[in-house]
Structure 1
Amino acid sequence: MDPGATPGLDGAGAVPLSVWVTAQTSPAAQRKGRYVTDSTAHPAKMLPAVAAHAICHYTCPGDLVFDPMAGSGTTLVEAIDAGRRAVGVEYEPHWADVARANLELARERGQDVDGEVVRGDARQLPHLLPEKYRGQVALVVTSPPYGPSLHGQVVTAATDSPDGKVHKYHHRYGNALDRGNLANVGHHRLLAGFTRILAGCAAVLRPGGHVAITVRPWREYSELIDLPSQIIACGRAAGLVPVERCVALLARVADAGLVARGSFFQRDFIRKQREKGLPLHLIAHEDVVVLRKVVEPVTASAAGGGSGEQA
Structure 2
Amino acid sequence: MSNDLPVSVWATAQASPTTQRKNRYTRESIAHPAKMLPDVVRYAIAHYTEPDDLVLDPMCGIGTTLVEAVHLGRRAAGIEYEPHWVTVANNNLALATEHGVEHDAHVIHGDARQLTTLLPPDLRGQVSLVVTSPPYGPSTHGRVAVAPGEGIQKYFHQYGSTLDRGNLANIGHHRLLAGFTRILAAAAEFMRPGGHIAITVRPWREHAELIDLPSQILTCGRNAGLIPVERCVALLARVAEHDFVARGSFFQRDFLRKQREAGLPLHLIAHEDVLVFRTPLRPAHEAATEVRAA
Same fold (TM over 0.5): yes
* Matched AA of 2:36: M
Partner residue in 2 for 1:96: 86
- The answer to whether 1:247 aligns with 2:237 is no
Q: For the Cα contact (< 8 Å) 2:140–2:158, is it kept in 1?
A: no
Q: For the Cα contact (< 8 Å) 2:139–2:204, is it kept in 1?
A: no
The structural deviation recorded for 1:149 is 3.4
| 1:149-189 C-alpha deviation (Å, 9 max, x unpaired) | 34200001xxxx13240000000110000010001111100
Partner residue in 2 for 1:74: 64
Distance in 2 separating the partners of 1:300 and 1:152: 48
Q: For the Cα contact (< 8 Å) 1:76–1:115, is it kept in 2?
A: yes
TM-score by length of 1: 0.90
Distance in 2 separating the partners of 1:201 and 1:35: 26
2:19 pairs, out of 26, 29, 41, with 29
Partner residue in 2 for 1:52: 42
Distance in 2 separating the partners of 1:301 and 1:221: 52
| 1:241-291 C-alpha deviation (Å, 9 max, x unpaired) | 000010000100001200000010111111111111111111110000001
Q: For the Cα contact (< 8 Å) 2:199–2:274, is it kept in 1?
A: yes
Alignment RMSD (CA, Å): 1.7
Distance in 2 separating the partners of 1:58 and 1:232: 19
Distance in 2 separating the partners of 1:203 and 1:223: 36
Higher helix content, 1 or 2? 2
- The answer to whether 1:181 aligns with 2:167 is yes
* Matched AA of 1:281: H
1:226-305 correspondence runs (5 A): 226-296=212-282
Number of residue pairs aligned between Structure 1 and Structure 2: 290
Distance in 1 separating the partners of 2:149 and 2:60: 36
The structural deviation recorded for 1:221 is 2.3
TM-score by length of 2: 0.95
In the alignment, structure 1 segments of 5+ residues that lack a partner are 1-7
The structural deviation recorded for 1:300 is 11
Partner residue in 2 for 1:62: 52
In the alignment, structure 2 segments of 5+ residues that lack a partner are none
Partner residue in 2 for 1:39: 29
Q: Structure 2 vs 1, CA of residues 299 and 132 (structure 1 numbering), >3 Å: closer, same or farther?
A: closer
- The answer to whether 1:9 aligns with 2:5 is no
Q: Structure 2 vs 1, CA of residues 299 and 187 (structure 1 numbering), >3 Å: closer, same or farther?
A: closer
Distance in 2 separating the partners of 1:164 and 1:201: 46
Distance in 2 separating the partners of 1:38 and 1:215: 24
Identity of aligned residues (%): 67
- The answer to whether 1:165 aligns with 2:147 is no
